[in-house]
Amino acid sequence: VLAIWNQLTKSQVPELSKCSVLMRDRSSVEETIHAMQRAGAGSLQVISDFDMTLTKFAHEGKRVPTTHNILDNRLLISEDGTKKMRELLNTYYPIEIDPSRSIEEKLPLMVEWWTKVHQMLIQERIRKDLLAQAVKESKAMLRDGYKAFFDHLEEQQIPLLIFSAGVGDILEEVIQQNQVFHPNVHIISNYMDFDQTGALQAFQGQLIHTFNKREGALSRAATLRELQGRPNVLLLGDSLGDLTMADGVPEQEHILTIGFLNDQVEERKESYINSFDIVLVKDETLDVPNAILRYIT
């Protein structure tokens, strides 16, 4: 039976044969996809990270900005702020992706990074009314195939939870400007809090960084009514920390995890293959998730 299934998936999800696709256990992936297909759109929810998962990692050889880096614009922050932000990025990003350090080791350092950047942004008193312009001027870019992805989920009425350690206000603006902020999209992220004059005075709620998404999943995602009664999950991420985004889903039945391996490929390949069901190596498109979604629903 498995052999027939393999053939089926090969012909129906041919994207899984692309050479950028790595799988620890191909037949189990195929079984999960078939089980999800049998259960249908009504049982499915999609949970996705944002930066470097729904957005590109690089375009034409240049890094694409994360939601935080979109704020690195003279419209919003001073030259000092820019300098500080870049220094922090150069210090902490290598730690975030360092395969030789454990998550426990990284945790306090990530809190340090986010806290320092957020403090700087508050000091700069970023203006709410300039955010849209900063996003317009930025090189923010969603992955190729994003429109098919968002539109298909809306058509099938499948909820999409975007769970991001980036900046929620900026994330919303990016998907809004790309015209895919549909009503089935739900966002959990770090949102800015502005004073009466429209200047940034704080960030709302509990800080979300790369490695504490599990807490947010349990306390916030689990309470979203739109996600109830959907035991099957397609999860997309680019960090090992993203794997905990579905921890709040009650009575989970089938989960298929897709990891984008964008950077430090050789060093991280093994851990990604061991952790995600499907690993996409330096793939700047949503072709594989789109093909799976098209087959399932």
Interacting residue ranges for ligand C5P, rule: CB under 6 A: 49-52, 66, 68-69, 89, 93, 96, 113-114, 117, 164-166, 210, 239
Select from ligand C5P, Mg ion, none the partner in contact with residue 210, using the beta carbon and a kind-dependent cut-off of 5 to 8 Å. ligand C5P
Are 154 and 183 spatial neighbours (Cβ–Cβ below 8 Å)? yes
Closest CA to 10 of 26, 22, 32, 25: 26
* Rounded-to-integer distance, Cα 135 and Cα 209, Å: 21
Catalytic residue, from 49, 238, 242, 287: name it. Answer: 49
The residue (of 159 and 166) whose beta carbon lies closer to ligand C5P is 166
Is residue 180 a contact partner of residue 208, using CB atoms and an 8 Å limit?
Answer: no
Is 151 catalytic? The answer is no
Q: How far is the CB of 102 from ligand C5P (least distance, A)?
A: 17
Of Mg ion, ligand C5P, none, which one does residue 146 interact with (CB within 5 to 8 Å by kind)? none
Structure tokens at 92: 């902490």
Question: Is residue 96 close enough to count as binding Mg ion by CB under 5 A?
Answer: no
Q: Among residues 165 and 185, whose Cβ is nearest to ligand C5P?
A: 165
186-245 residues near Mg ion, rule: CB under 5 A:
238
Q: Which amino acid is at 123?
A: Q
> Cβ closer to Mg ion: 76 or 245?
245
Residue 51 a catalytic site member = yes
Q: Which is nearer to ligand C5P, 114 or 194 (CB)?
A: 114
Contacts of 4 (CB under 8 A, 6+ apart): none
Residue 106 or 230: which CB sits closer to ligand C5P? 106
Task: Say if strands 278-281 and 21-23 run parallel, antiparallel, or are unpaired.
Answer: antiparallel
User: In this structure, what DSSP letter does residue 100 have?
Assistant: T
Determine if 173 is a binding residue for Mg ion (CB under 5 A): no
Identify any residues that bridge with 59 across adjacent strands, giving them in sequence order: 62
Contact code string over 43-82 relative to Mg ion, x by CB under 5 A: ------x-xxx-----------------------------
- Report the nearest approach of ligand C5P to the CB of residue 158 (Å): 20
Q: At 86, which amino acid appears?
A: R
Residue identified by tokens 């397609």 is 234
In angstroms, give the least distance from the CB of 51 to ligand C5P: 3
Distance, in Å, from the CA atom of 222 to the CA atom of 219, rounded to the nearest integer, reads 6
Closest of 258, 249, 289, 278 to residue 43, by C-alpha: 249
Positions marked active-site: 49, 51
